[in-house]
Amino acid sequence: MDKFRIKGGKVLRGTVAISGAKNSALPVMAAALLTAEKVTLHNIPKVRDLITMSKLLAFMDAKVSVTEMPASDYVIEALKLNHVEAPYELVKTMRASVLTLGPLMARVGMARVSLPGGCAIGARPVDLHLKALEQMGAEIETSHGYIEARVPKGRLKGAHIVFEKITVTGTENILMAAVLAEGETVLENAAREPEVTDLVEMLGKMGAEISGHGTSTLRIRGVDQLHGTEHSVIPDRIEAGTFLVAGAITGGELMITHCEPEHLGAVIAKLGQAGVPIEIVNKTTMRVQGAKRLVGADVTTEEYPGFATDMQAQYMALATQAEGTSVISETIFENRYLHASEMIRMGANISVDGRKGVVRGPAQLSGTTVQASDLRASAGLVLAGLVASGETTIERVYHIDRGYEGIVEKLRGVGADIERVHGAAS
């Protein structure tokens, strides 16, 4: 298994270009299953989850053409779907495989999708996805670890769905189910994440009739057929936020390009409160400088437009360097502080009590060997390693490879002393 080795203490300076958003690329690739025509996608980040998604689509007999692998442009043609199944072998490496359920139910009226298990950060059930599909007329059984779903009437029926909790992939799944359903579907308490809006835009280009995008009520009038399209996914706001913290924490200056500052409102505001100077240069560029004095600031994770849970670990790394106390409240996932114990091993003063993490700073971190536990926790540990004295080794970086394109190369490009150490395949 690969590791990262970081020698901390380098000041980062230069320009970093942000890749496409993994969490947009996943649903738009799944949406290609909704039509027999060609769908061309651009700005797909070169990360492992997207390779997994392309394998999943190919398993179903969709034709996935790329000029290279990993690819940033995909051409997907789902002429006929012969295997309407997402097998355990693929789902276990990527929970978002469940995003194929909605499109398969809409297009073929049948699907067999392995139940995603819990993951390190929480139980993460998909009950709300299934309940909504049932409201639309699907019959669903779960047995032998698989969701077995079918539409007895051949076509899903529009329904009025009120999500009990805001769910990002749940909203995306039901959107994709509803675009080909008979009649109107209303989704209330829908997720408003920019990635949901990106999917709505792409579906609109395919001929779907959706209104209310960007709001928590989406109205979808089902159509008989969708057609092919071309779409470029939005920039990855979490990668951009991670580099904002990298610039701030190392006392350097980074120009972050190809991003969408508008999607980072809560992160920019919170970093500003902590004393980090951030300048919005234009619609796609931000400049971050090291803070003269970092001060602790409390943060609560929330659904968009609130502070993203996917930025919590990175913020915790920053908080270890800030003067005073920062209270972090994690409201989205029940067990998302696995990075905290690793940061404590590096010398951070953090106490965790349920969903609250209290960080007292500043602490001089010192390098040691730490374990990555999930995608964003890994990013938090990389940031901690950048400011720690001596050498930090991060194990299990396959987690970070799921979602950060070329993080080692990008960090090296701005002056970090980081390298990937290749290990034996596991």
Strands, sheet with 285-289, edge to edge from the N-terminal-most edge strand: 13-17, 253-257, 285-289, 278-282
- Contacts with ligand UD1 by CB under 6 A lie at 23, 26, 96, 122-129, 165, 167-170, 195, 309-310, 332-333
Give SS3 for 163. coil
Residue 152 Cβ vs ligand UD1, minimum distance, rounded to whole Å: 23
Half-sphere exposure of 422 (CA within 13 A, CB side): 1
Show Cβ contacts of residue 159 under 8 Å, excluding neighbours closer than 6 positions. Answer: 132, 135, 136, 137, 185, 186
Token pair for residue 364? 């001089």
Q: 287, 301, 308, 299: which is closest to 238 by C-alpha?
A: 308
Residue 103 Cβ vs ligand UD1, minimum distance, rounded to whole Å: 15
Determine contact, residues 37/227, Cβ cutoff 8 Å. yes
Determine contact, residues 220/210, Cβ cutoff 8 Å. yes
Residue 296 Cβ vs ligand UD1, minimum distance, rounded to whole Å: 24
Give kind and range of the element (H or E) at residue 268. Answer: helix 265-273
Closer CB to ligand UD1, residue 35 or residue 167?
167
Residue 101 CA to residue 123 CA, distance in Å, equals: 19
Closer CB to ligand UD1, residue 164 or residue 419?
164
Q: Is 259 a catalytic residue?
A: no
Determine contact, residues 59/85, Cβ cutoff 8 Å. yes
Determine contact, residues 225/182, Cβ cutoff 8 Å. no
Residue 48 Cβ vs ligand UD1, minimum distance, rounded to whole Å: 13
Residue 15 Cβ vs ligand UD1, minimum distance, rounded to whole Å: 26
Closer CB to ligand UD1, residue 26 or residue 397?
26
Closer CB to ligand UD1, residue 396 or residue 402?
402
Peptide bond between residue 70 and the one before it cis (omega within 30 degrees of 0): yes
Residue 330 CA to residue 202 CA, distance in Å, equals: 31
Residue 281 CA to residue 25 CA, distance in Å, equals: 26
Identify the active-site residue in 66, 110, 119, 223: 119
Residue 306 Cβ vs ligand UD1, minimum distance, rounded to whole Å: 10
Closer CB to ligand UD1, residue 168 or residue 286?
168
Residue 328 CA to residue 167 CA, distance in Å, equals: 21
Q: What is each CA distance from 147 to 58, 100, 117, 201, in whole angstroms?
A: 20, 12, 12, 29
Residue 10 Cβ vs ligand UD1, minimum distance, rounded to whole Å: 29
Cα-based torsion angle of the residue sequence 365, 366, 367, 373 in order, rounded to the nearest 10 degrees: -40
**Active site (catalytic) residues:** 119
